[in-house]
Amino acid sequence: MRPVDRPHPPAQLDRRSFIRWSLAPLAIPALAAAGCRSMQFARVMMPGEDAMIGSHQAGQETFTPLVNDAVAKLLARHVDSAVQQVSYAEGAEPLPPPTRRICFVGVENKSAEDIGDFKEQIYQSIDSRILESSVFQSVNRRFVDAGLRDTRLRPDQLLVPEHMRSFAGHMEQQGQPIDYLLYATITSGTTRENRDYQRDYVLTLELVEVGTGTYDKQSAELSKGYHHSRLSRWRATNPLAP
């Protein structure tokens, strides 16, 4: 009996099958890697636990010390000055220093990085520390924004004497008198060494007295190194390393 001749599949179909089966081992790891990249894990950080350090730009580890240092030094200097100016009758209890009202007009970022939501956090941190002081009181931000909107002035325009008087008068009419304007500015400088670089961050606070236009300034600095590898970071922290 003659064997039955079976039709052979077209050559094009054979090529498609060969390509499909030859690429299958490569596709499986790629899909697995894509699935891993899409997954993210989180945990609640416990009180006292070390904060994470930003690997590409500044984070909490940078801005929190800057705010604490600059605000503490600036307010302490003016608190001491206010206490020294308080006079009281001989034998009487010393009077508390008068409360000074600060209008914090905002945070300006002039650094090399986009600080994102940290800009708002820096504002709130500085504002909270002002409220914690014994001499100064911060004007509510909603009143400040409304005053700028009503007078059609930008924060940088308030340093013009005419605009400063206009803004201060408007705030007083709204029941929010102010004694000082406070500006916060973030700057940075970058020094590169091959693929590694150092970035020096500076937070500057400027306190301007509304009545006289005199101002005081306080800065806080923090340097941070960015390394392209763990070995590079280890060498930077171990000067005797080869």
- The domain spans of the chain are 60-83+98-232
| Token output for 52 | 């994470």
The confidence score (pLDDT) of residue 238 equals: 65
pLDDT tens per residue across span 15-52:
656 555 555 555 555 555 555 556 877 767 677 767 66
89 has a pLDDT exceeding 50: no
Fold designation for 60-83+98-232: Rossmann fold (3.40.50)
Q: H or E segment at 126?
A: helix 118-132
Asked whether residue 13 carries a pLDDT value surpassing 80, the answer given is no
Give the H or E element holding residue 107.
Answer: strand 100-110
More confident residue, 44 or 129: 129
Strands of the sheet containing 136-138, edge to edge, are 136-138, 100-110, 180-193, 196-209, 215-226
The strand ranges marked E within 121-232 are 136-138, 180-193, 196-209, 215-226
Q: Is the pLDDT of residue 2 over 70?
A: no
Q: With residue 167 as reference, give the H or E element that holds it.
A: helix 161-173
Using 50, 70 and 90 to split pLDDT, how confident is the model at 61?
Answer: confident
CB 106 within 8 A of CB 123: yes
The Cα–Cα gap between 144 and 151 comes to: 11
Q: How confident is the model at residue 205 (pLDDT cuts 50, 70, 90)?
A: very high
